[in-house]
Chains A and B, each alone.
Chain A
Amino acid sequence: MLVTSISTLFLISVVTSALGGALGMASGIFIVPVLTILMGMDIHVAIGASIVSVIACSCGSAASFLRERLTNVRLAIVLEIATTLGAASGVLVSGWIPVPILYAIFTVVLLVSAWQMLQRRIVNVLDERAQEGWARKLDAVYPDRALGRDLAYKVDRLPAGLGLMYGAGLLSALLGIGSGVLKIPAMDTALRLPMKVSSATSNFMIGVTAAASAGAYFMRGAIVPSIAGPVALGSVVGALLGARLLVFVAADKLRIIFIVVLLGLAVQMGLAALGIHVGVGA
Chain B
Amino acid sequence: MSLSEPADELNGRLAKLLAYGTWLACGLIMIGMILSLFGWTAAPGKPGFISAGILLLIALPSIRVATMGLWFLFRRDFEFALIAMAVLAIIVIATFLGLGAA
Contacts and interface: CB of A to CB of B under 8 A. Distances in A.
A84 B51 contact: no
B101 A211 contact: no
Contact count band on A: 35 or more
Contacts of B79: 137
B34 to A, nearest CB: 10
B36 to A, nearest CB: 6
Contacts of A59: 18, 21-22, 57, 60-61, 64
A245 interface: no
B98 A207 contact: no
Contacts of B62: 208, 211
A214 B97 CA distance: 11
A66 B79 CA distance: 22
Interface stretch (A31-39, A71-79, A191-199): A71-79
A163 to B, nearest CB: 16
A216 B8 CA distance: 33
A122 B25 CA distance: 36
B7 to A, nearest CB: 7
Interface residues of B, number: 56
B22 A213 contact: no
A212 B96 CA distance: 10
B11 A233 contact: no
B26 interface: yes
B31 to A, nearest CB: 10
A142 to B, nearest CB: 10
Interface stretch (A85-93, A103-111, A272-280): A85-93
A96 B64 CA distance: 31
A80 B62 CA distance: 11
Contact of A3 (B36, B60, B102): B36
Contacts of B32: 225, 229
A239 to B, nearest CB: 11
Nearest to A226: B50
Contact of B26 (A66, A207, A236): A236
A98 B45 CA distance: 29
Contact of B36 (A6, A207, A212): A6
B90 A225 contact: no
A115 interface: no
Interface in A158-200: none
A60 B92 CA distance: 22
B13 to A, nearest CB: 9
14 contacts: A52-B58, A63-B19, A66-B14, A69-B8, A77-B65, A85-B90, A94-B101, A141-B4, A211-B61, A211-B91, A218-B95, A220-B102, A229-B32, A236-B22
Interface of A: 2-3, 6-7, 10, 52, 55-56, 58-60, 62-64, 66-67, 69, 71, 73-74, 77-78, 80-81, 84-85, 87-88, 91-92, 94-96, 137, 140-141, 150, 207-208, 210-221, 223, 225-226, 228-230, 232-233, 236
6 nearest CB pairs, A to B: A216-B98, A215-B95, A219-B98, A229-B50, A211-B61, A88-B94
Interface of B: 4, 7-8, 10-12, 14-16, 18-19, 21-22, 25-26, 29-30, 32-33, 36-37, 39, 41, 48, 50-51, 53-55, 57-62, 64-65, 68, 79-80, 83-84, 86-87, 90-99, 101-102
